Amino acid sequence: MNRDLEGRTIIVTGGGSGIGRAAALACSISGARVVVADIVVAGGEEIVSAIRRTGGDAIFVTTDVAREEQVEALVAVALSKYGRLDGAFNNAGLSQTNVPLHELTAEQWRRIQSVNYDGVFFCMKHEIRTMLSTGGGSIVNTSSTLGRVAMRNAADYCGSKGGVLGVTKGAAVDYGDKHIRVNAILPGAVNTPMVQALVSDPQFADLIEKIRASHPLERIGAPEEIAAAVVWLLSDKASFVTGTELVVDGGFLAT
């Protein structure tokens, strides 16, 4: 068993379900002490219990990443509990509103941006401040293949995920000489509660088959497959990788 994150402290936002849950578990298996953050208490507490049952070390902090004071408190808890912060997977996010752009209200637009884009900024701001004082680290932000290409009725989501790519590259340039690496991961369609909720909507009844057909591997991904890539980016095996967009999409963007 690889222990590529042995003894390190890693924050995982959106860690209570889907890709975040899989990443929290994968980081623990790789030796990390995991600080799970989520707005949904039940999911966050469940994965912490699962990690502890396997002999891992984890805590849960209820966090709304759209609120900077809660993000600042999250990072403070990680530092108080474990003494340092070595990595973070900024993964918390919302799916699109599913209406065309001209029908989006300002409230709907801001709801998506506040979590998917502002939340990543708030997390990086306070994670980087701490990493600067503890010798550096590695940050992975969740973007999406829809940060590169678009689908119908998803301008709000595509805009937020494209923004994540830009702020990731900006931070990578700003802090490379401070031993802080910053990268983005671009999942394709993954079997998460977010995707399951989308395809359960009657207006998207045939969407899952269209998604499968659009991926050369002819299937959607598993959260564990994305988590494995995240662990690699967080580890020293990716020590010369920063400012990159790691696509894990079953070939979707190649078509």
pLDDT tens digits for range 149-193: 998 999 999 999 999 999 999 999 999 999 999 999 999 989 887
| DSSP states along 9-42 | EEEEETTTSHHHHHHHHHHHHTT-EEEEEES-HH
Give pLDDT, residue 215.
84
Closest CA to 252 of 185, 155, 186, 204: 186
Q: Active-site residue numbers?
A: 157
Instruction: Say whether 171 sits in a helix, a strand or coil.
Output: helix
- In tens, the pLDDT along 216-234 reads 998 889 999 999 999 999 9
In which residue are the tokens 């940050």 written?
139
How far is the C-alpha of 124 from the C-alpha of 227, rounded, in Å? 19
Residues 6+ apart with CB under 8 A from 53: none
- Please identify, in words, the CATH class of the domain defined by 9-188+224-249: alpha beta
Give pTM, 2 decimals. Answer: 0.94
Residue-level length of the chain: 255
Q: Which parts of 30-154 fold into alpha helices (H)?
A: 41-53, 68-82, 106-116, 118-134
Spans of all domains in the chain: 9-188+224-249
User: Which portions of the chain are predicted below pLDDT 70?
Assistant: 1, 195, 197-205, 207-208
